[in-house]
Amino acid sequence: MRVLGIDPGSETLGWGVVEGGGSKYLPVGHGVVKSNTKHAFSKRLKNIYDGVGEIISQYQPDVVSIEEAFFSVNVSSAMKLGQVRGIVLLLAEQHGISLAEYSPRLIKQTVVGHGNADKIQVQEMVKLLLGLKEIPHPHDAADALAAAICHFHHTGTLSSVKGR
pLDDT tens, position by position, 110-139? 999 988 899 999 999 999 999 999 999 999
Q: Given the residues 50, 93, 101, 140, select the one marked as catalytic.
A: 140
Of all residues in the chain, the percent with pLDDT exceeding 90 is: 79
Residues contacting residue 134 through CB under 8 Å, at least 6 positions apart = 127
| 33: phi then psi, degrees, rounded to nearest 5 | -110, 110
| Tens-place pLDDT, residues 45-56 | 999 999 999 999
Of all residues in the chain, the percent with pLDDT exceeding 70 is: 90
67 catalytically annotated: yes
Domain regions of the chain by residue span = 2-162
* Distance separating alpha carbons of residues 65 and 146, to the nearest angstrom: 9
- Residue 57's alpha-carbon distances to 51, 62, 97, 160, in angstroms, are 10, 12, 11, 29
54 catalytically annotated: no
pLDDT of residue 78: 85
Least confident span in 48-52, 138-142, 151-155: 151-155
Q: Position 153: which residue type?
A: H
pLDDT of residue 163: 35
pLDDT of residue 92: 98
Q: Position 106: which residue type?
A: L
Strands (E), the chain: 2-7, 12-21, 24-34, 63-67, 98-102
145 has a pLDDT exceeding 50: yes
The class of domain 2-162 in CATH terms is: alpha beta
Mean pLDDT of 77-98: 95
* Distance separating alpha carbons of residues 109 and 116, to the nearest angstrom: 8
Q: How confident is the model at residue 5 (pLDDT cuts 50, 70, 90)?
A: very high
Mean pLDDT of 49-69: 96
pTM of this structure: 0.91
159 has a pLDDT exceeding 60: no
62 catalytically annotated: no
Q: Given the residues 50, 54, 67, 134, select the one marked as catalytic.
A: 67
